[in-house]
Chains A and B, each alone.
Chain A
Amino acid sequence: MTTLLNVKDLRAYYGQVQALHGLSFSLNEGSLTTLLGANGAGKTTTLRAICNMVRSSGAVEFDGKPLNNRSTESIVRFGIAHVPQGRGTFTTMTVEENLQLGAITRKDSAGIVADIERMYAHFPVLKQRHTQQAGTLSGGEQQMLAVARALMLRPRLMLLDEPSFGLAPLVVRDLFGILGKINREDKVSILVVEQNAQLALELADQAYVIETGRIVMSGNAKDIANNEEIRKSYLGY
């Protein structure tokens, strides 16, 4: 298996405060990897540092190419789609415009039209609401839209920041089912940050546990889920 994303000794800062203290991990092509950890452990910061949205040092390599010192918007062009915390919906625009924005860096207009239809097939509720302002969608629908918007890039890697946040348990199950399908069928590698460790471990193949800006545990998702000690001390279930 080839390494798609390689993060080495990543440190990130908010002003004077250091949030990541030399974090290293890697993600294999085609894998669905999860970053787990408590509130404030540095999960979101890790995703933000990968996309250069926060001051950071260390090495981030995507498919062998360094991402450091590149602007957020140019990192997208490598095929990295980031669904931020809070979903980042363009609330005043229509659902369809949100999807078009996901593909704004692509040049193949026929492919974009086809992909919008493909998203409507994946998420029928978005088709029903395609002329509606995205801000009027429910939380679950907005999360579907955010995932669909990210897929419109035809990404090689999708970064998801707490997709379960604020959603009803049933909706979360649905969403995670879709993510698994995207990972298997569309061959999109996924890095998902979650507080809902139980669910994330069911879905993922690899897992890393972060505590106060460092990786404290890594391995096969099943092994971590089955290790009662880790579960109790780090994942709280």
Chain B
Amino acid sequence: MTDWEARTIRNTARLGVWTGAWLLTMAVATFGPILLWPSNKWLTVLVVVVNLAVGLGMIAANKRHLQGLDELQQKIQLEAIALALGIGLVFGLGYSTLDVTNVIDFDAEISHLVILMGLTYGAGVFAGRRKYG
């Protein structure tokens, strides 16, 4: 295994741990007030603060992961992230407008935007790997 591979595996694993921790704290912050501690507002605030702190750790781990990639991999990531951001912004705001103007009779949830951006990012990375593969 080359140094580059070892470094990338290490950084990816670290990012995976932070992402898992962030998802876990997000789940606790979402379902805790409903299932575990109804009517305890301060505990909810505390869990949300913990979630935000872990989220900052995840962002730092993602930055470190990107900085550890080589220049082609960074280019692939940049193109995929740009695509996800652009699609998320354009379609997200369009989707929100449909909700605000009552064209659609259900709520435009933020989770729909996250799913759209996640799928677009994944497709962008796949397309980049094919393009330069």
Q: Do these two chains really belong together in a complex?
A: no
B: which residues have CB within 8 A of A? none
